[in-house]
Structure 1
Amino acid sequence: MTVRSRSSGGYMENGGRAPQTVRNELGDSTVRGPVLQTGVVHGDIHVHDGPAPPPPPRQLPPLRSPLTDRSAELASLERHRLDASDGDAGVLGVLTGLGGVGKSALALSWLHSLRSDYPDGQLFADLAGGSGPASRSPDEVVGHFLRALGVGHSAIPATFSERVAMYRSVTTHRRLLVLLDDAATAAQVRPLIPAGPSVTVVTSRTRLLGLALDGGHAVPLEPLDGESALALLVSALGPGRAEAQQAEARALAELCGGLPLALRVVGSRLAARPGRPLAAALRELTGHRPRLPRLAADRDQGVQAALDFAYAGLPEQAARLHRLLSLHPGPEFGPSAADALLGSDAAEAVEALHTAHLLSEATAAGTERFRVHDLVREHAASVAADTDAEQERAAAFRRLADHYLATATLAETRLDPAHRDLARTYGPDAPVTDLLGDSDREALDWLERELPTLMALVRGASEAGVPTLSWQLADAMWPLFVRRKFTSEWQEAYEHGLAAATSLGDVPAQCRMLTSQGLGLLSRDPESALTLFEAAATRFAASGDRLGQARALSYQGLAHQRRGRDREAATLFTSAAERLRAVGDTRAAALATLNLAEINLRGAAPRAAAEQARQAGLALDAAGDPYNTARAAVTSSRAALALEDREGAERHARAALDVLRPLAADYETARALTALALAHEARGEEEAAGERGTEAFTLFEAAGRTASEDAQVVRACLARVTADGDG
């Protein structure tokens, strides 16, 4: 209200002074709400209502659809809010992620749920990524916010710093909800954070690490998992339509890569054509044509546009690495692979891509690993095809292939130094990963971790014009297959390797692929293994390779042994050992002798078996082969037990365990534990036998070898020593 005094038949303000404009504390010339302004009051007092205050701003966009499975992220935001609400401090949530991952939807869902607790208004600004003609400057936005909060246009200061100061004053005691959408930098949003006990959410396609200094609570968003992605698509299609075409709906959700934007585009297109079969949309996305153009509602409203925007903001080297990462065939990679692709230190480029959410960290304890979303990879390939010369891409792929081949060879040398006797053709400057460590287990862990990438390279090397890589990489993976028994990959790797070696006319490589594949089949299909060994023997003979022929005899002996033809096997092992010693391969001769010891042990000739195992162990130790030396010790333990030398049986088993445990050779460790359990049982130590036997069977289970002869032996031992006979 305004109070005026009556004097001399007229109205005079301010006690009779000339009329003046009344300014409030904000400098606004418009007086709002009740105001009493007097000098000396004479006569009657008349009260007049002034302009009503403006309603609180309600600028948040509406919720377009229910949020799909972001419960963990919502809980994280709410915990942060409740922790901060103990005082008068504001709350700052920072949602970051790839374009189209659902940042704005999550922000709106959370902020709308808080409206009753923050009654003083809602502010919203689309910052449009902070660049380009559609972007909004902080100066413009803070003026917009001040007007929404009731500050008159003429009262808004001219300078940016004064505007920010006024904004802080206006918001000091207000409880507001503020959404700053699609920000580019921390500096862009920092002036727009209110000063009072408000909740502010910033969304960005970059990680905005600088906002941590302002108390920002970072919540990075990843694409939806398979079930959540399917649920989002079903919500657009309707349950009846999706249930009738479940397989197609699930495949469509998978092709969208868990990106809500892509899922909503596909869902909206199908919803507009209720009679269209989902299989038709599936064919459209899985054809030879790229997916990205078909994952857009409009030209500027789709996954392609979001990725183009992110790519446009990259530094030069990061943009180049983004393009070259389309050449990486595996689901994950480490820093050294990025270095290889780039041909130089890629740390800064990786950081820039990570900041832009064009790659994300992969979960792997104690390692630095990254992954690239499928649609991001497709975008990278498209941009690379338009930007980089074919020669440059071929050179980058070869650097990457050399990195993996060199590192796998290093692991192979550490795990089985006697295995590699064929040349490897990677360049001398091939970068080797620094994650192998010094132990056998670390080398095996690297091979296992990189197995999907290594297999992809083995499969695609010939098509990429480097068939040599296929068989050489398969050969380098040998220790992993022997020790951790990836049986399906074992067979596939050597099948591709054999095809590559055959295309090259490389007979030694063909023979290596045949024998390596055959050794992987021994436990499951000895007949097929024998066929492969015989094919290798034929090639060895045709090329006059005496060493190869002798080794092939030993391999054929293994196949006959697995077929239960011990007499034929013993003859082949004996002949192989003699020929191998004659050509100077004492290690291979020792292995043939060890195989002969196993036959004698099974054939009730433990004394001969013990002597042959002893000789084999000495020769293998002299050859620097601790793994097979330990295998010989296991055979010696079983032979000693058959000769009723219980102390010797335990001694040999423990010696084998001491070697095999650090080598991470789980299957052979299980065999050594079986021998130790049998030794304990023979000495009447049933509790110790049960403990070692249980440990052995657990390892057999982990290796998928519970049907093996040794696993059955330990199962029987457990049945005897446990009270209920349950093995």
Structure 2
Amino acid sequence: MVDLLQVVVDEAAKAAATSAVGAVSTASRNVVSLLKERLGTTKSGKDALSRRALAAARADKEWADRLIEAVSVLHEENASTATAGIENFRNHLALLADPPRTGLKLIVGAAGSGKTELARQLADRVQEDFPSGRVEVPLARYRDGDEFDAAAVKRYVLREFGIPHGEIPVDDEQLDRQFLAVLVTRSFVVILDDVELAAELALFARFRTSLVLATASVYSRELKACDPAAIELRGLDVEGARELLADFCGQVRLVDEPVETGRLIDLCDRMPLALREVGLTLAGRAGEARPVATLLDEYRDSGVVDVEGVIQDSLRRTFARLSDAAVEACAVLAGHPGGFFTRATAAAMTGDAKVIEELIAAQLTYQAGDWYSLTILAGQYARKLPADREAGFGRLLAYVRDTAVAADFRENPQRLRTYVVPAKRDWELRVDHIDWLEWHRSLIGELVKLACLRRRYKESLQLAGAFEALVNKRGYWREFVDISDWAVKAVEADEDAKPAQLARALMMRGKARYLARWFPAALEDLDRAAKILSGPAAGFAESRWRKLQASLAEFRGRFHEERADLLVLRNAGEAEIKRELAEAERHLRWACALSTELADGPALAIHPRMLANVLVKLGEPAEAIAVLGTMAAAGRNQARVEMVYANAFLALGDLAEARARFGSAWNQMAAQRATQYVWELRELQARLMTAEGDPGAIDVWGRLAYDATQLGHPRADRYFSALESSSSDRRP
């Protein structure tokens, strides 16, 4: 695990380094002042300063605490926001009068007791003390049985703090470092909803200058050890319960029946979910003489004597008012993968585009953007109702599969595919096809898994294959690790699958794994794929089999290049790095040879560029230029080719040609609105300006270092080294 104190002093050293080139905020000045107070000078270089500060922090806890406090507000302008509490919802006034302000506070109570709402209101009371804002994390989304996806939680929190998806590392080590770097430089409130394990709290307990408000339904022994004095909820205060009931009962005047209203509130145990359901029942009785008393009489006659009975009776009444089609639809939607649906996926799953409006009108759903979900109680009730759920799942699977495949073909009809292509593959929606894949990525991931478990292997592979279009365009490799894992399971279980399909699934999983820096597992997948592809082209055209072999050679080359890049990050020996790059060169040369033999135009627009990039890293820029001269490329790939050219000419000292190639790449990327390679372009600009002797280079390096630090980006250390080198070159 990354040392938190090490991250703190690293961020302090970065603040000191960037302050030297003018990127100064009040928070940065405070950090620099603390460093000078203890160390005397901050002009010894970032790494040396970090080492000195770490030693001082370990020796002086009081000074370390002050440094942590100062670092925690470095990036307060990057504030995150989350849902505020409902202002007129009165809940536990004594707690709100004296809210917790640091550390961890656990709120425990049964489902429907108002835990999350209380957490939001507590956060509202102290928000001005936490300039970086608030993040709310629904932990249940990140559990699958006993498995908790801590990495997914980290990525979610980073996005909530404004870190672009493309700037979040795929591999665990860099992800953890970025997570720590971003959070130690911010002072925030985090609401952890539905905690079950102490390990879930441990993700945030390290950040002492922030406030963690966590909710839990069960006050287990390990949670009690985390907070022995948790807030335990058993219902709202009386006034809060009365106000909440009034919010939902419409035109019914509770003030006309104060005694009966009190009895009804007591029957509900002052539980928010029960009060909501009773309020909805009362709202339908507006105009009756004594609606509250009448409802209590009906409860007595039907044997309703507790809060559970109240809830079930209210739900029964609500569902009785629905049409048969809406009841059936609600029962089917209760099993929607992931629990969230759009109007389109709801229409597909239920076979009826209109019933969703009836469910919304009955207040059985809640909305988050373009996505809907059944309320907790509606979902629990609907799951017990009879419905043809298998047919609903089949309709949803077919709709998402057809749309995803159409998006894949809209992006690139010539791309190498091994999945069975359905008859329908024309893109007919008005939205952008890649945007659609991105919006539905979580649903696609769930369907790949569920289709495999239900032995719908063909559809599982089709969805996984179509998802590659999103991965190739916008990343999401971390999500693809899980998807490709289920794809491999599906093809292994499918008796009708062809060897090429298994090879492709293994290759894609291997690629996802090596980008996540899981090299041993990635190598195992690539080796298995190689063994399959070394045999005859069973059930597959020979030319396509050879294309798979070329693709495998590309993946193997990139595997070794990624390993070399990691070795560079870890300051490994030159010989070890060269060995990996030499292996990358060998495989990429084989990929180029196969693509040339097959006259595979799309591959010949990619493989030589990859080879040339490795040759530049190997110190062979002239040969890289020769390789680039053999290829033709277009679109975004042409801009990438220009970047490799620029790096090669820069290495040769041909600054004029390097400048021209850089300008071409910059203009093309801007025209295409491609942001994936912005860091590489800016770094190339800084290196080119340094080589040209442009005094503005130090400002470009400084801005790069500052921006990378803001994002907790792993490139930050490299930029600081270049900044220090540029600064020393300018000294007399």
> SS at 1:382's partner residue?
coil
- Please report how far the alpha carbon of residue 500 of structure 1 lies from its aligned counterpart in structure 2 after TM superposition: 0.1
Using a 3 Å threshold, how does the CA distance of structure 1 residues 713 and 647 change in structure 2: closer, same or farther? farther
Contact persistence 1:340–1:403 (CA under 8 A): yes
Name the CA distance, whole Å, in 2 between partners of 1:568 and 1:317: 62
Matched residue type, 2:407: A
Q: For residue 457 of structure 1, what is the aligned residue in structure 2?
A: 447
1:428 maps to 2:427: no
1:652 maps to 2:667: no
Q: For residue 48 of structure 1, what is the aligned residue in structure 2?
A: none
Cα displacement string for residues 113-171 of structure 1 (whole angstroms, at most 9, x for unaligned residues):
xxxxxxxxxxxxxxxxxxxxxxxxxxxxxxxxxxxxxxxxxxxxxxxxxxxxxxxxxxx
Q: 2:357 aligns with which of 346, 351, 354?
A: 351
Cα displacement string for residues 608-664 of structure 1 (whole angstroms, at most 9, x for unaligned residues):
212323444x2x32xxxx333332222112112223333433443343344445766
Q: For residue 207 of structure 1, what is the aligned residue in structure 2?
A: none
Matched residue type, 2:338: G
> SS at 2:347's partner residue?
helix
Name the CA distance, whole Å, in 1 between partners of 2:657 and 2:663: 10
Q: For residue 494 of structure 1, what is the aligned residue in structure 2?
A: 484
Q: How many residues align?
A: 454
Name the CA distance, whole Å, in 1 between partners of 2:638 and 2:628: 9
- Please report how far the alpha carbon of residue 358 of structure 1 lies from its aligned counterpart in structure 2 after TM superposition: 1.2
Using a 3 Å threshold, how does the CA distance of structure 1 residues 245 and 587 change in structure 2: closer, same or farther? closer
Cα displacement string for residues 343-365 of structure 1 (whole angstroms, at most 9, x for unaligned residues):
34x1x3222211212112213xx
Mapping for residues 164-203 of structure 1, pairs under 5 Å: none
Q: 2:534 aligns with which of 541, 555, 558?
A: 541
Cα displacement string for residues 188-208 of structure 1 (whole angstroms, at most 9, x for unaligned residues):
xxxxxxxxxxxxxxxxxxxxx
Mapping for residues 257-272 of structure 1, pairs under 5 Å: none
- Please report how far the alpha carbon of residue 604 of structure 1 lies from its aligned counterpart in structure 2 after TM superposition: 1.7
Contact persistence 2:267–2:306 (CA under 8 A): no
Contact persistence 2:504–2:548 (CA under 8 A): no
1:311 maps to 2:307: no
Name the CA distance, whole Å, in 2 between partners of 1:608 and 1:404: 47
Name the CA distance, whole Å, in 2 between partners of 1:404 and 1:73: 41
Contact persistence 1:100–1:306 (CA under 8 A): no
Contact persistence 2:615–2:621 (CA under 8 A): yes
Name the CA distance, whole Å, in 2 between partners of 1:340 and 1:353: 16
- Please report how far the alpha carbon of residue 248 of structure 1 lies from its aligned counterpart in structure 2 after TM superposition: 14
Contact persistence 2:507–2:525 (CA under 8 A): yes
Q: For residue 630 of structure 1, what is the aligned residue in structure 2?
A: 639
Q: For residue 92 of structure 1, what is the aligned residue in structure 2?
A: none
Name the CA distance, whole Å, in 2 between partners of 1:239 and 1:603: 57
Contact persistence 1:521–1:528 (CA under 8 A): yes
Cα displacement string for residues 581-632 of structure 1 (whole angstroms, at most 9, x for unaligned residues):
212323224432222212221122212212323444x2x32xxxx3333322
Q: For residue 649 of structure 2, what is the aligned residue in structure 1?
A: 640
Larger CA deviation: 549-558 vs 685-694? 685-694
1:397 maps to 2:393: yes
Matched residue type, 2:533: F
Q: 2:193 aligns with which of 221, 226, 234?
A: 226
Contact persistence 1:332–1:369 (CA under 8 A): yes
Matched residue type, 1:554: E
Structure 2: 5+ residue runs without aligned partners? 1-83, 91-110, 119-190, 197-211, 235-240, 246-264, 272-303, 538-544, 564-576
Using a 3 Å threshold, how does the CA distance of structure 1 residues 573 and 705 change in structure 2: closer, same or farther? farther
1:521 maps to 2:488: no
Q: For residue 597 of structure 2, what is the aligned residue in structure 1?
A: 582
Using a 3 Å threshold, how does the CA distance of structure 1 residues 537 and 232 change in structure 2: closer, same or farther? closer
1:600 maps to 2:615: yes
> SS at 2:452's partner residue?
coil
Mapping for residues 137-216 of structure 1, pairs under 5 Å: none
Q: For residue 338 of structure 1, what is the aligned residue in structure 2?
A: 346
Q: Structure 1 vs Structure 2: percent identity of aligned residues?
A: 22
Cα displacement string for residues 543-595 of structure 1 (whole angstroms, at most 9, x for unaligned residues):
33333223222322222334442333322222221122212323224432222
Name the CA distance, whole Å, in 1 between partners of 2:421 and 2:230: 46
Using a 3 Å threshold, how does the CA distance of structure 1 residues 477 and 309 change in structure 2: closer, same or farther? same
Using a 3 Å threshold, how does the CA distance of structure 1 residues 72 and 266 change in structure 2: closer, same or farther? closer
1:669 maps to 2:659: no
Contact persistence 1:670–1:700 (CA under 8 A): no
Contact persistence 2:553–2:591 (CA under 8 A): yes
Q: For residue 471 of structure 2, what is the aligned residue in structure 1?
A: 481
- Please report how far the alpha carbon of residue 510 of structure 1 lies from its aligned counterpart in structure 2 after TM superposition: 1.2
Q: For residue 362 of structure 1, what is the aligned residue in structure 2?
A: 368
Matched residue type, 2:359: L
- When normalised by structure 2's length, the TM-score is 0.53
1:467 maps to 2:475: no
Matched residue type, 2:595: L
Contact persistence 2:506–2:526 (CA under 8 A): yes
> SS at 1:496's partner residue?
helix
Name the CA distance, whole Å, in 2 between partners of 1:239 and 1:397: 36
Name the CA distance, whole Å, in 1 between partners of 2:367 and 2:347: 17
Contact persistence 2:697–2:726 (CA under 8 A): no
Matched residue type, 2:509: Q
> SS at 1:357's partner residue?
coil
- Please report how far the alpha carbon of residue 457 of structure 1 lies from its aligned counterpart in structure 2 after TM superposition: 1.0
Mapping for residues 677-692 of structure 1, pairs under 5 Å: 677-687=686-696, 690-691=699-700
Cα displacement string for residues 321-355 of structure 1 (whole angstroms, at most 9, x for unaligned residues):
222212320243222212212334x1x32222112
Name the CA distance, whole Å, in 2 between partners of 1:720 and 1:264: 72
Using a 3 Å threshold, how does the CA distance of structure 1 residues 540 and 243 change in structure 2: closer, same or farther? closer
Q: For residue 375 of structure 2, what is the aligned residue in structure 1?
A: 373
Q: For residue 570 of structure 2, what is the aligned residue in structure 1?
A: none
Larger CA deviation: 543-552 vs 453-462? 543-552
- Please report how far the alpha carbon of residue 496 of structure 1 lies from its aligned counterpart in structure 2 after TM superposition: 0.7
Q: For residue 610 of structure 1, what is the aligned residue in structure 2?
A: 625
The structure whose residues are more often helix, as a share, is 2
- Please report how far the alpha carbon of residue 297 of structure 1 lies from its aligned counterpart in structure 2 after TM superposition: 6.6
Name the CA distance, whole Å, in 2 between partners of 1:314 and 1:721: 72
- When normalised by structure 1's length, the TM-score is 0.53
Using a 3 Å threshold, how does the CA distance of structure 1 residues 651 and 481 change in structure 2: closer, same or farther? same
Name the CA distance, whole Å, in 2 between partners of 1:513 and 1:299: 51
Using a 3 Å threshold, how does the CA distance of structure 1 residues 426 and 705 change in structure 2: closer, same or farther? farther
Contact persistence 2:622–2:648 (CA under 8 A): yes
Q: For residue 500 of structure 2, what is the aligned residue in structure 1?
A: 508
Contact persistence 2:192–2:214 (CA under 8 A): no
Using a 3 Å threshold, how does the CA distance of structure 1 residues 685 and 326 change in structure 2: closer, same or farther? farther
Contact persistence 1:576–1:589 (CA under 8 A): no
Contact persistence 2:113–2:233 (CA under 8 A): no
